[in-house]
Amino acid sequence: MMQIRNALAPMAAAALVLGLAACSKEPAEPAAQETGTAVPQPTPSSAAGTGPAVMPTAIPGALQGRWGLVDADCTSSRGDAKGLLTISGDTLTFYESVAKLATIRSGSPSSFNGEFAFTGEGQSWNLDVALTSPDGGKTLIRKDTGPDAMPGPLTYTKCP
């Protein structure tokens, strides 16, 4: 009998702890009590008031302007600035080609990704172009993807 009592004592203590823990829980949501189904709880992002990121409608202003691959691209007065890139809200203008924004993929104040329709020297092609400025607008990194894309990113400096 003593062995049974010694074996039951820890089980009784565990049952008491579990019973007290069950009593201390907050009651279920009323809808869950009525229907027997769980009520979805807000996620941390929706509870904090932040929803999904807002899709931009144009290339962000911080990425717009004149950008040069080398210093001379920004200062040339002879029209031979072959590395100059001019960005507006929906257009990328290069030395011998122009790219019009076709589809916006994603964006933030310092980055943008979209599909662009390029034309130049009697040809046309499409590329996805990612633009980022990791340092507040001093430099611009351009990465093209697609069948006609250049390998690797290009780094531009903001023209004065």
pLDDT score, position 55 = 81
Percent of the chain's residues with pLDDT above 70:
67
CB-count burial class (<10 Å; 0-12, 13-18, 19+) for 66: middle
pLDDT score, position 76 = 78
pLDDT score, position 135 = 95
* 2-22 mean pLDDT: 41
Domain boundaries of the chain, sorted by first residue: 2-47, 61-158
Higher pLDDT, residue 52 or 110: 110
127-159 residue pLDDT tens: 999 999 999 999 999 999 988 898 999 999 999
This prediction has a pTM of 0.65
- Is the pLDDT assigned to residue 45 strictly greater than 70? no
How, if at all, do strands 154-158 and 65-68 pair? antiparallel
Contacts of residue 159, Cβ cutoff 8 Å, sequence gap at least 6: 65, 66, 67, 68, 73, 74, 84
Contacts of residue 71, Cβ cutoff 8 Å, sequence gap at least 6: 157
- 159 in Cβ contact with 66 (< 8 Å): yes
